[in-house]
Amino acid sequence: MDEVRASSAWVVARASHVFVDSEGNSLSLSCSLAFWMLIFWIEKVVDNIKDSIPKVEWDFEKIHYFDGGPLTVQYLLVLDAINFCFWPDKDLSYDDFALGLKYALQKDKSALDADRLQKFTGPQLRELLKWPRPLPLEDERIRLLHEVGRELENSFGGKASNLVESCGNSAVKLVTLIARHFPGFRDHSVYKGHQVFFYKRAQIFAADLWGAFKGQGFGKFKDIASITIFADYIVPAVLRHLGVLRYGSSVASIIDADNEIGSGSEEEVELRACSIYAVEKMRELIKIKTGNKVLSVELDLWLWSFGIQCHSLQHHRTLSVYY
């Protein structure tokens, strides 16, 4: 996770599409001045919210499967393997996937077994989710289900719980193992010739385990504080709403018009990297100002829950298997 933090900071110091403004106007600043104004503006936001950040319970919407055992681990890995790119279908959301897989397991405990994952087709996945039409990036979702099923069978006896048990209660090691064994979770990009790491879905699997099991059993991680936020569509939109992130006019116009931003483009990488960096600084400042240690996982859950309830937020649109 040090790579995620360091590479995100590298992007922030060189960003040319995301600008920071402490007075409400869009400014094109030099890299060093923009960097320090970002710190200034984040500090103002932290002063306003530091005493009002609520604790948000994992599964506050009651949409996930949980039985307290290995099947929950299997469910979460499969869910996080296909947890990306809902926006092309305006009626589709993460809830549809979480609930669809939950109901499938409640009906048939073997629905997500490794051997069955390897045989899924698009129509079968839609039937499982009870979704009436093709899913966005459906072929990619099927490819990733096959990948998960095959590697679980080849390396972990078919069980995601064996994968988790092999990490020695380390969230960082779990993310490393996932990236090593499952190429579909290797979320990184190249920005101005420099490799940038995000690992959104690999990190969120660790965070989901921690939240679902309340830090015990399969969710007991000695280093959960190492996990960063999960750079997606919602968090940048919320940070923009709070005034932490400011966009240049070209990026703002693309987002506000609901047009696409290319996967791997400078604009997209900056949106994600600046979000990670900004929330890390928020977390650090909250600790300095209040003495409270807030996890990035907790801040992400609060920002995300705020975002999904604020339907007027304009988020960026990128066709990606990573978020």
The residue annotated as part of the active site, out of 187, 208, 232, 300, is 232
Q: Cα–Cα–Cα angle for 77, 84, 163, nearest 5°? A: 15
Give the number of other CB atoms < 10 A from CB of residue 122. 13
H or E segment to which residue 188 belongs: strand 188-191
Write the burial class of residue 93 (CB in 10 Å: 0-12 exposed, 13-18 middle, 19+ buried).
Answer: middle
Q: Comparing C-alpha atoms, which of 319, 237, 224 is closest to residue 272? A: 237
Distance CA 1, CA 289 (A): 25
Beta partners for residue 247, in sequence order: 18
Q: Buried b vs exposed e over 236-268: b needs ≥16 C-beta within 10 Å? A: bbbbbbbbbbbbbeebbebbeeeeebeeeebbb
CA quadruple 27, 28, 33, 38: dihedral, nearest 10: 50
Give Dmax (Cα) for the chain: 58
* Residue 300 annotated to the active site: no
Determine the Cα–Cα distance for residues 296 and 228; give it in Å rounded to an integer. Answer: 5
Residue 173's φ and ψ, nearest 5 degrees, are -65, -35
Residues annotated catalytic, as ranges: 232
